Structure formats: C-alpha cells, structure tokens
Amino acid sequence: MIDKSIRGQPMNRTDLASAISSNLDIAETEALKFIDSFEQIIRTTLSEGGEVSLIGFGRFHRKKHRARIGRNPHTGETIALPARYVPAFSPGKTLKETLKQTV
C-alpha cells in the first residue's frame, strides 16, 4: 500500500523502494536492489533490440527516430542529426483502464 501522504505526488526511487518494502515486507535496501536490477534488465534488453512486456501494465520498447536536419537555435546553423533509438513505453490495457477510472 502506498503511504497516504504521497498519494497523487511524484514518486522518486526512494518512495518507490519504501512502497515495495512495505508491500513485500522486505528491507528498503532489498527493494532498491530490485529496482536497480529491474532498470538494468530493461536497459540491457532495449539496447540489444528487444522489448520488455508486462501484460496488463505495459511494454518497454525502443523507437527509431529518423535522421533529420536540425537547427542550432542560438546561431541558426543547420546540423545533420543522425538516426537514433529512444526508449518508449506503451501502457497496457489494465493500466489504461485504471487511469480512466480516476477521472
């Protein structure tokens, strides 16, 4: 359960670890290790071209941004920006439904 004092507020790593710790009855240090491991697995999987799908919650994947010509806003100089991958998250059906109910 999430502490009532932080409901509706932005949650950082420490807050998340605290919530996991109380939900699973484990030490906060163990919850932080879990978060670190989760992040590392997602980073590694995405960097290798894979995706992480958590049914109902969502899918972590990467999107390709095409190469394009950009402009330096200070000088007006044009710059060739190469194609690149960026991380993306697509929410799952259950998460979407949960958020719809909060409006």
Residues 22 and 65 occupy one common structural domain: no
One domain for residues 21 and 41: yes
6 lies in the same domain as 38: yes
Given a contact cutoff of 8 angstroms between Cβ atoms, the answer to whether 57 and 94 are in contact is yes
pLDDT in tens, the chain (103 residues): 566 556 778 899 999 999 999 999 999 999 999 999 999 999 999 999 999 999 999 999 999 999 999 999 999 999 999 999 999 999 999 999 998 987 6
63 and 101 together in one domain: yes
pLDDT at 3: 62
- pLDDT, residue 103, reads 67
Please state the pTM of the whole predicted model: 0.80
Q: Residue 78 belongs to a domain with what CATH number? A: 4.10.520.10
Give the range of the structural domain holding residue 75, as residue numbers without chain letter.
Answer: 51-103
| 41 and 62 fall within a common domain | no
Q: How many CA atoms lie within 13 A of 35 on its CB side?
A: 16
Residue 90 pLDDT: 97
- The C-alpha atoms of residue 59 and residue 100 are separated, in whole angstroms, by 19
Based on the domain organization, do 86 and 100 belong to the same domain? yes
Nearest to 82 by CA among 69, 63, 100, 72: 69
Q: How many domains does the chain have?
A: 2
Between helix 28-47 and helix 13-24 the angle, nearest 10°, is: 120
Residues 55 and 103 reside in one and the same domain: yes
| Residues 24 and 12 reside in one and the same domain | yes
